[in-house]
Amino acid sequence: MTDFDTRASRNQQKSLEAFLKQKARFDAMVAELQQMSADHFEADPEDVLWGNAATLEHWNSRLASVTDSYFKRGEFAE
């Protein structure tokens, strides 16, 4: 194995470790989002007002940016 191969292998391993760390962070946030949804975003159906809907609309627009980018929709369409 050459010096280049050794460096490339170490670089690939470090890249994989960084990727898996970020994936774990992503998965944890997805789990939190699922819990938020299950809790109806702490909104009591008897007390929901336009502010609750607006907040959720804002969050949805931010999440849509991520999903649209990944699935190449909207402004990210090819």
Q: Contact, 56 vs 50, CB < 8 A?
A: no
pLDDT in tens, 56-77: 999 999 999 999 999 999 999 9
| Alpha carbon distance 37, 12 (integer Å) | 37
Taking the complete model, does pTM exceed 0.85, yes or no? Answer: no
Q: What is the pLDDT of residue 77?
A: 93
pLDDT in tens, 25-50: 999 999 999 999 999 999 998 999 99
Q: What is the pLDDT of residue 57?
A: 97
Q: Is the backbone of residue 71 left (phi > 0), alpha (psi -120 to 50) or beta? A: alpha
